Every structure is written in structure tokens, then in C-alpha cells.
């Protein structure tokens, strides 16, 4: 029997839920969902397009991790936007774009991205807010990354060389510099100690690359002036918006398989791309999250090194790369291509708690005679559907495929799921039944209007 304070707390929670679930609650604003949208694979799932599309229904889009290692491509008419650091919500007038505390910011990259958007007529400065708790990337972070990636006997991760990992290292080691330090003009002492630290590492590794720390300091003082008007306590801002009944879309960068804890470690990025990162990376508590949407390609890709069970290294993989234009939007590197991996998706669904999945790039499979889907793994002669933790075990996986017939016709221009060719619909149903996650939407082209929603789906209800 629950008694005393616990009982009172439960009753209060019950009332709170009732209030949020009742749009007509007297005197209260209508219930609006706060949703997380994140990648269910190794990144590049097409989140940029989905976030841009959904952002119309939200008051703010908040990015919670990563830095300018991410690249979100959005097509609007004949205009192509590649957003690296700024949430794609910025492309919708009136939607606030928030860079949360979990993001690492290279001010030079930020200002150049802002300039590009301003030149395209987007009023970035009126729509963008940056967390004063976000950490700052300096040029020497890239130097350190180069040392680390190039060192003998070190397993190279194949990073984007943007200084992301070393900046997060400084954050966790409690020697990093944050946006607040930068804009409050009191970071010089702290900066000099950080610079000394980097010089020591460089000399230990016999690195002769000259870094002019004074020049960097002067440059960052200038960056600080440009960033100051945008910096604030974004955790307070977002929580206040939620209290006012406004709705927030949380945008993950990279994908769950690149998450520092749940990805194919060490071949991962240095932040929490999974759903939990949305709370730690913005300061919005889990009690305010109403739904989690996973984005997955109809097949799968990976950039950089690391195990990839369903990779196709044959000509068919090359065909997918060309059809899907699978080249990194940040580094231009060719992406490794492979087949939809059901155990992987079940794993990412478990650690994220997906309410619904969006399947992207369905049209890339249009020409294929048959489509392999990895439905299980074989490890040590045993069939398993679980994702192992160690690199050596993931590398040892032999994928077990089921081959589905292709639909051999274009799906471009189809605007309702029911109008997809029969085999395409069967493919979607197959993925849904095997993964156990609702497929609430299918994207069949890069444009905003090339996205179909499943009528009556949980996704549709969350977006209402």
C-alpha cells in the first residue's frame, strides 16, 4: 500500500497527466507534443528533411548534440541547404532554432553557416539562440585530432576531422571553454592554460605544426562579439516555452549507432546521439518528452571506419551509392552502403523507445529486382537477433538475409502509401512487422512534399 508523501505525489502526477492529456483543460493552453527526432542507424538517415518538414508544427527546434560534423541536406524547390550546426527549423520563418548545451560549437563554422543562410534571405539572427553552456571548439582541437587519428598503433576512427572528439574530451576533463566564458570576455586565463596543455601534447608527440595561440585568442574575441547577442540560458528558454504551452522538436545529429554509449564503440562520435541525449543536451527533463521518432533509410549506410554487418561491397552497393547520392554532405566521402538491418533497428528502437519510424529514400530501391533485408545475425554458428557490444563480435557477424521482390517502377510522385506499388507496400509492411515498430511515414524523394504519412498512425496523432 502506498502511503503518505508517495501517495500524494502519485495523485499529483495523475492530475498532471490528466491536464496534459486534456486539450480542453479549463484555463490551460492546449496540449502540444514535444518530440525527439533522431537517427536509427549510423547517421545520414535524412533527418534534416524530416525535421524541416515537421518543424512547421512546432514553436522551436532544438539541436542537442554533435557539432559541424553533421550535415543535414534540405531541398526547398530548386534551393539546396546544407545545415551543419544550425537546426533545420531555421528554414521556417517564426520557428526558433536552438543550439543546446550538448552541442560543441566552432564559432568560425557557425558564423560562416549563418552568413550562407543570410545570403539566401533567411533571417537567422532573429530566429537563432545558442546555449551559453555549449562548449567551444578551437583550431587546436583539430590538430589534436590529427595527432590522435594518425598515431601508429592507434585504430583510426575515420572522423570528420572537425575537432569534435577533442572538444568533448576537454568538456569531460573539465578544462573546456564554454560560450558563456567567451561572451563574458573572461576566458583569457582559462584559454592560456588550455593552450599550454595542447602545446605539451604537441611537443610530446613531436608535432611541428605551428599554432599561433595569440592570433587564435584575438580571433575568438571577435567571434565572441558576433555570438553574444544570440547566447542565453537555452534550458530556461525551452522550459519556459513548454510552460507556456509551446511545443519543441528535438533534433539529433548523427545516429544511434554512432552514440558514444550505444554505438559501435570506439567507431562512434563523442556525444549522446540517442534519445537520452535530448534531455542532457538541452536541459529539458524527460517528463516533458511526449514522443520519440526514429528515422531510418529503407537500406543503410555508414561513413568512416567500423563494423557494418549488412554492408554490400559488390557492384550492387555501388549502384545504391549512385542512386542514393550517398556521399557525405560534410566531407564528401563516399558512404558505405548495405541492406536494412532488422536486429540493428530493433536494438536502436529498444535504447531509444521509438514510438514511430520514418522510412526515407524508399525511391532509391525503385530499380532493384530483389531487395535483401538482414533479418538475423549468425555468430559462432548460432542465430541471434541481439547486437553484441564488442567490435570483434560485431565484425564477426554473418548477416542472415531474406530477399524480397523489388517493385521495379518509380515511386516518385506517389503521395499516399496506399498508392505505392504492391511490392513496395509489402516491403514497408515487412520492415514494420520484423522491427516491431510502427512505420508512420515514408519518404520517396528529397522534397518536402515527397513524404507520405500513414493515416491513423501514432506519428500522425503525435503531430496533431
CA atoms 119, 125, 129, 131: torsion sign: positive
**Alpha helical stretches, state H, 244-390:** 276-280, 315-323, 342-352
Q: Which of 336, 310, 308 is nearest to 394 (CA)?
A: 308
Ramachandran area for residue 4 (φ above 0: left; ψ -120 to 50: alpha; else beta): left
Helix locations, 44-98, DSSP H: 47-54
Cβ closer to ligand IMP: 69 or 435? Answer: 69
Nearer to ligand IMP, 67 or 89 (CB): 67
Q: Segment 84-113, which members bind ligand IMP (CB under 6 A)?
A: none
- In the complex, the smallest distance separating the C-beta of residue 168 from ligand IMP, rounded to whole angstroms, is 8
Q: Confirm or reject binding of residue 457 to ligand IMP (CB under 6 A).
A: no
The nearest distance, CB 382 to ligand IMP, in angstroms, is 29
- Which position's Cβ is nearest ligand IMP? 304
Residue of 230, 225, 235, 241 lying closest to 125 (CA atoms)? 230
Nearer to ligand IMP, 73 or 239 (CB): 73
User: Shortest gap between Cβ of 253 and ligand IMP (angstroms)?
Assistant: 6
Residue 369 near residue 408 (C-beta atoms within 8 A): yes
Q: C-alpha 30: how far from its chain's center?
A: 29
Closest distance between ligand IMP and the C-beta of residue 32, in Å?
Answer: 29
Cell (9 digits) for 372: 535483401
**Are 463 and 34 in contact, with CB atoms under 8 Å apart?**
no
Smallest distance from ligand IMP to CB 145, Å: 7
Q: Write the DSSP string, 285-320.
A: -GGG--EEEEEEESSEEE-SSS--TTB--SHHHHHH
Binders of ligand IMP in range 270-299 (CB under 6 A):
270
The 60-79 contact track toward ligand IMP, x by CB under 6 A, reads ---------xxx--------
> Which residue from 116, 139, 158, 334 is in contact with ligand IMP, where contact means CB under 6 A?
158
* 304 binding ligand IMP? (CB under 6 A): yes
Q: Which triple of cell numbers denotes residue 70?
A: 553533421
Does residue 165 touch ligand IMP according to CB under 6 A? Answer: yes
Q: What is the DSSP letter of 229?
A: G
User: By CB under 6 A, is residue 309 in contact with ligand IMP?
Assistant: no
Least distance between ligand IMP and beta carbon 255 (Å): 7
C-alpha cell at 303: 561513413
Residue 321 binds to ligand IMP (criterion: CB under 6 A): no
Q: Which residues are catalytic?
A: 44, 72
Is residue 157 at the binding interface for ligand IMP, with CB under 6 A as the rule? yes
Does 143 help bind ligand IMP (rule: CB under 6 A)? no
Between residues 267 and 407, which has the closer beta carbon with respect to ligand IMP? 267
d(CA 300, CA 46): 11
- We find the least distance from the C-beta atom of residue 434 to ligand IMP, in angstroms, to be 24
Question: Cell 518530440 appears where?
Answer: 35
Helices marked H in 55-178 — which ranges?
107-119, 124-127, 139-150, 164-172
What is the C-alpha to C-alpha distance for residues 44 and 446, in angstroms, rounded to an integer? 13
Please report whether residue 344 would count as binding ligand IMP according to CB under 6 A: no
Number of residues binding to ligand IMP, judged by CB under 6 A: 20
Query: Binding of ligand IMP at residue 43 (CB under 6 A)?
Result: yes
40 is an interface residue for ligand IMP by CB under 6 A: no
Give the shortest CB-268-to-ligand IMP separation in angstroms: 6
Q: Which is nearer to ligand IMP, 164 or 371 (CB)?
A: 164
117 binds ligand IMP (CB under 6 A): no
- Burial annotation 227-253 (CB, 10 A radius, 16+ → b, else e): bbebbbbbbebbbebbeeebbbbbbbb
The answer to whether residue 160 forms part of the interface with ligand IMP (CB under 6 A) is yes
CB of 164 to ligand IMP, least distance (A): 4
Residues 170-189 within binding reach of ligand IMP (CB under 6 A): none
Nearer to ligand IMP, 116 or 421 (CB): 116
- Cα distance between residue 114 and residue 59, in whole Å: 20
The contact pattern for ligand IMP, residues 221-260, with x = CB under 6 A and - = no contact, is: --------------------------------xx---x--
Q: Whose CA is closest to 48, among 68, 66, 70, 64?
A: 70
Contacting ligand IMP (CB under 6 A), which of 41, 143, 159, 360?
Answer: 159
Binding of ligand IMP by 269 (CB under 6 A): yes
- Cα 288 to Cα 15, 124, 213, 280, 409, distances in angstroms: 15, 27, 43, 13, 43
Give residues in contact with ligand IMP (CB under 6 A).
Answer: 43-44, 69-71, 157-160, 162, 164-165, 253-254, 258, 267, 269-270, 303-304
Amino acid at each position: 500500500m502506498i502511503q503518505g508523501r508517495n501517495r500524494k505525489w502519485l495523485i499529483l502526477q495523475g492530475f498532471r497527466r490528466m491536464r496534459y492529456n486534456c486539450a480542453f483543460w479549463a484555463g490551460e493552453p492546449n496540449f502540444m507534443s514535444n518530440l525527439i527526432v533522431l537517427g536509427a542507424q549510423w547517421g545520414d538517415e535524412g533527418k534534416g528533411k524530416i525535421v524541416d518538414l515537421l518543424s512547421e508544427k512546432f514553436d522551436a527546434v532544438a539541436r542537442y548534440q554533435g557539432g559541424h560534423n553533421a550535415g543535414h541536406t534540405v531541398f526547398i524547390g530548386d534551393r539546396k541547404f546544407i545545415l551543419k550546426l544550425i537546426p533545420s527549423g531555421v528554414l521556417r520563418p517564426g520557428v526558433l532554432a536552438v543550439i543546446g548545451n550538448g552541442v560543441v560549437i566552432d564559432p568560425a563554422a557557425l558564423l560562416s553557416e549563418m552568413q550562407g543562410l543570410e545570403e539566401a534571405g533567411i533571417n537567422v539572427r532573429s530566429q537563432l539562440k545558442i546555449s551559453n553552456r555549449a562548449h567551444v571548439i578551437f583550431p587546436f582541437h583539430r590538430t589534436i585530432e590529427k595527432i590522435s587519428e594518425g598515431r601508429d598503433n592507434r585504430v583510426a576512427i575515420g572522423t570528420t576531422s572537425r575537432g569534435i572528439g577533442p572538444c568533448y574530451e576537454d568538456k569531460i576533463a573539465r578544462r573546456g571553454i564554454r560560450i558563456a566564458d567567451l561572451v563574458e570576455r573572461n576566458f583569457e586565463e582559462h584559454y592560456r592554460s588550455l593552450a599550454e596543455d595542447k602545446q605539451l601534447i604537441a611537443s610530446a608527440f613531436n608535432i611541428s605544426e605551428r599554432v599561433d595561440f595569440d592570433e587564435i585568442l584575438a580571433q575568438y574575441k571577435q567571434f565572441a562579439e558576433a555570438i553574444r547577442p544570440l547566447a542565453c540560458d537555452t534550458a530556461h528558454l525551452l522550459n519556459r516555452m513548454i510552460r507556456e504551452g509551446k511545443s519543441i522538436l528535438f533534433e539529433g545529429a548523427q545516429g544511434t549507432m554512432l552514440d558514444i554509449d550505444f554505438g559501435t564503440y570506439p567507431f562512434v562520435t563523442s556525444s549522446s546521439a540517442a534519445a537520452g541525449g535530448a534531455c542532457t543536451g538541452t536541459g529539458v527533463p524527460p517528463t516533458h518528452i511526449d514522443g520519440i521518432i526514429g528515422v531510418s533509410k529503407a537500406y543503410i549506410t555508414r561513413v568512416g571506419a567500423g563494423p557494418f554487418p549488412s554492408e554490400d561491397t559488390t557492384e550492387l552497393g555501388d549502384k545504391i551509392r549512385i542512386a542514393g547520392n550517398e556521399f557525405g554532405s560534410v566531407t564528401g566521402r563516399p558512404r558505405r552502403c548495405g541492406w536494412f538491418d532488422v536486429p540493428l533497428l530493433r536494438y536502436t528502437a529498444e535504447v531509444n523507445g521509438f514510438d514511430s519510424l520514418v522510412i526515407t529514400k524508399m525511391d532509391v530501391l525503385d530499380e532493384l529486382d530483389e531487395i535483401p533485408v538482414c533479418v538475423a545475425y549468425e555468430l559462432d554458428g548460432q542465430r541471434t537477433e541481439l547486437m553484441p557490444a564488442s567490435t570483434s563480435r560485431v565484425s564477426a557477424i554473418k548477416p542472415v538475409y531474406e530477399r524480397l521482390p523489388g517493385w521495379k517502377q518509380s515511386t516518385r510522385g506517389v503521395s499516399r502509401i496506399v498508392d505505392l506499388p504492391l511490392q513496395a507496400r509489402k516491403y514497408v509492411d515487412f520492415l514494420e512487422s520484423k522491427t516491431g515498430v510502427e512505420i508512420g511515414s515514408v519518404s520517396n524523394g528529397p522534397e518536402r512534399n515527397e513524404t507520405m504519412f500513414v493515416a491513423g498512425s501514432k506519428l500522425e496523432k503525435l503531430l496533431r
